[in-house]
C-alpha cells in the first residue's frame, strides 16, 4: 500500500533583500530637477537683477545641460555600467572605469549640447570651457552617488549575511527538534507492532505495511520542510489503523478533513504527536476510548483539533516525558512565531481538546 512520497520542498527559507547590484541610488531621479534650480544663482551671478523673462531664459539654459547629462548618466549607470563593473576584479580598475566614463561621456556630449543650447539660448559659449563644466557636472552627480550606494550595498550585505546566519540557526533548530520527534514516534509505533505479532500474525503483516509507509514518511520529514494537510492526514489515518489493530474495538477513531484545507502546507509530523498523546492519555487504565481528529479551514487560519474522551488535561494517570508537546510548541514558534499556537483545554463533554492554529496566506500556511 505504498504511496509516492511527497515532492521535496526547499528546506531553505527564502531571503529577500534589496538588490546589491545597483551602482547609484535610484532616488537620484528626484534630485536631477532640483540641483540645477539650486545651482542657478551660483552659475548666473546677476540672476536677481535682470528682468524676469531674461532670468527664466538663463535658468532654462542652465537646466538644459544639467538635465541632459544627469539623465544620460542615470541611464548609463542603470543599464550599462553594472555589467561592465561586474567584469572588473579590483577596486582600482573599477575606479579607473568610473573616472574614464564620467570624463569621456561629457566631453563627447558637450558639442551636441552646446549646439542645441546656442540655438535656443543665445550667448557666447566656448567649447573647451563648456566641456569642462559638463565634466564637473557629471562628477558632482556620479561620485557622491557611487559612494552613497556603495555604503548602502555594504549595509545590505551585512544584513543579508546576518539573516542567512539566523536562517541557518533556525534550520538547525528545526532539524534537531524533528530528530527528537522522529525517534519518539518510531519507539511507540514499533511497540504497537510488536504487541500484535504473537496475537494476530496476519494483522501484524498488514500493520507492518502501514508501518513501512509511516517510516518512509518520518524519514522524509527530515528532508521536507512542508507537506500538504491531505498527506499529513493520510499518515494519521495509517497511524490510527495501527493503533486500532492494537486496541481492537476498545479504540474508536474518526478523522474529519475539510477539503478547503486539504492543500494547505504544514510541517510534517504535526498531527501525529497530538493523536499519540490522545491515545496514551485517553486510554490509560481505561477499558475503551475514542479519538476524533478534525481539520477545518477557518478564514485566515486552519484549525487542527484532536479530541479524546479521557480524564482531561493534566488528569491522566499516564506520565510521559512531555517532550513531544514541548517540541511541537517550539516547532510552531520557530515556524510561525506568535501566529502559530497550540492549546490544551477540557472538552465540553469531558476529555481533552488539543488545538493547533496555523495562519494561512493564499491557501498556504
Q: pLDDT per residue over 64-86, tens digit each?
A: 888 888 889 889 999 999 999 98
CA 91 remoteness from chain centre:
33
Domain span including residue 252: 197-359
Give the C-alpha separation, 204 to 209, whole Å: 9
State which of 139, 161, 183 marks the end of a domain. Answer: 161
CATH no. for residue 318?
A: 3.30.565.10
108 lies in a domain? yes
**Residue 344 and residue 221 share a domain:** yes
Is 274 domain-assigned? yes
Q: Domain boundary at 161, 189, 218, which?
A: 161
- Residue 13 counted as domain residue: no
Is the same domain home to 63 and 133?
A: yes
Mean pLDDT over 113-135 rounds to 80
Question: Of the candidates 161, 177, 210, which is a domain's last residue?
Answer: 161
What's the DSSP call for residue 261? G
225 Cβ contact list (under 8 Å, min separation 6): 9, 10, 11, 174, 267
Residue given cell 491515545 in the structure block: 279
> Does any domain span residue 105?
yes
Check pLDDT > 70 for residue 165.
no
Task: Give the pLDDT band (50/70/90) at residue 113.
Answer: confident
Percentage of the chain modeled with pLDDT above 70: 80
Is there a single domain that holds both residue 146 and residue 232?
no
Return the exposure string of 140-157: e unless at least 16 CB atoms fall within 10 Å of the residue's CB, then b. Answer: bbbeebbeebeeebeeee
Under 8 Å CB-to-CB from 24, ≥6 apart: which residues? Answer: 74, 77, 78, 142, 145, 146, 148, 149
Same structural domain for residues 339 and 207? yes
pLDDT score at 365:
53
Q: Which of 97-111, 114-128, 219-233, 271-285 has the highest mean pLDDT?
A: 97-111
If one counts the domains in the chain, the total is: 2
* Whether residue 108 is found in the same domain as residue 232: no
Tell me how far apart the alpha carbons of residues 282 and 67 are, in angstroms, rounded to a whole number: 78
Residue 285, Ramachandran bin (φ over 0: left; ψ between -120 and 50: alpha; else beta): left
User: Which of the four pLDDT bands, split at 50, 70 and 90, describes residue 3?
Assistant: very low
88 and 210 co-located in one domain: no
Tell me, yes or no, if the pTM score tops 0.75.
no
Q: Are residues 273 and 156 in the same domain?
A: no
H/E segment holding residue 325 = helix 323-336
Decide if 182 is inside a domain. Answer: no
Residue 365 placed within a domain = no
| Beta carbons of 243 and 214 less than 8 angstroms apart | no
Amino acid at each position: 500500500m505504498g504511496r509516492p512520497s511527497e515532492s521535496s520542498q526547499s528546506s531553505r527559507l527564502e531571503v529577500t533583500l534589496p538588490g546589491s547590484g545597483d551602482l547609484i541610488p535610484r532616488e537620484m531621479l528626484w534630485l536631477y530637477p532640483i540641483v540645477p534650480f539650486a545651482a542657478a544663482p551660483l552659475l548666473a551671478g546677476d540672476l536677481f537683477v535682470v528682468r524676469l523673462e531674461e532670468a527664466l531664459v538663463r535658468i532654462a539654459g542652465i537646466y538644459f545641460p544639467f538635465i541632459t547629462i544627469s539623465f544620460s548618466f542615470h541611464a548609463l549607470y542603470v543599464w550599462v555600467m553594472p555589467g561592465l563593473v561586474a567584469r572588473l576584479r579590483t577596486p582600482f580598475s573599477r575606479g579607473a572605469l568610473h573616472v574614464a566614463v564620467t570624463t569621456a561621456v561629457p566631453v563627447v556630449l558637450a558639442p551636441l549640447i552646446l549646439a542645441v543650447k546656442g540655438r535656443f539660448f543665445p550667448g557666447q559659449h566656448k567649447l573647451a570651457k563648456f566641456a569642462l563644466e559638463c565634466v564637473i557636472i557629471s562628477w558632482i552627480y556620479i561620485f557622491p552617488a557611487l559612494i552613497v550606494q556603495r555604503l548602502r550595498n555594504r549595509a545590505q550585505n551585512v544584513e543579508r549575511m546576518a539573516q542567512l546566519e539566523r536562517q541557518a540557526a533556525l534550520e538547525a533548530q528545526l532539524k534537531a527538534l524533528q530528530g527528537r520527534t522522529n525517534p519518539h514516534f518510531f519507539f511507540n509505533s514499533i511497540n504497537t507492532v510488536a504487541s500484535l505479532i504473537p496475537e494476530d500474525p496476519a494483522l501484524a503483516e498488514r500493520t507492518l505495511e502501514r508501518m513501512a509507509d509511516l517510516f518512509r514518511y518520518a524519514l522524509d520529514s527530515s528532508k521536507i520542510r512542508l507537506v500538504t494537510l491531505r498527506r499529513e492526514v493520510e499518515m494519521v489515518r495509517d497511524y490510527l489503523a495501527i493503533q486500532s489493530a492494537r486496541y481492537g474495538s476498545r479504540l474508536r477513531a474518526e478523522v474529519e478533513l475539510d477539503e478547503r484545507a486539504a492543500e494547505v502546507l504544514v510541517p510534517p509530523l504535526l498531527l501525529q504527536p497530538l493523536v499519540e498523546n490522545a491515545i496514551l492519555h485517553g486510554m490509560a487504565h481505561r477499558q475503551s476510548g475514542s479519538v476524533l481528529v478534525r481539520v477545518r479551514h477557518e478564514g485566515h487560519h486552519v484549525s487542527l483539533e484532536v479530541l479524546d474522551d479521557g480524564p482531561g488535561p493534566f488528569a491522566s494517570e499516564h506520565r510521559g516525558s512531555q517532550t513531544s508537546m514541548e517540541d511541537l510548541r517550539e516547532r510552531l514558534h520557530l515556524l510561525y512565531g506568535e501566529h502559530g499556537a497550540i492549546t490544551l483545554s477540557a472538552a465540553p463533554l469531558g476529555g481533552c481538546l488539543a488545538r493547533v492554529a496555523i495562519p494561512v496566506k493564499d491557501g498556504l500556511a
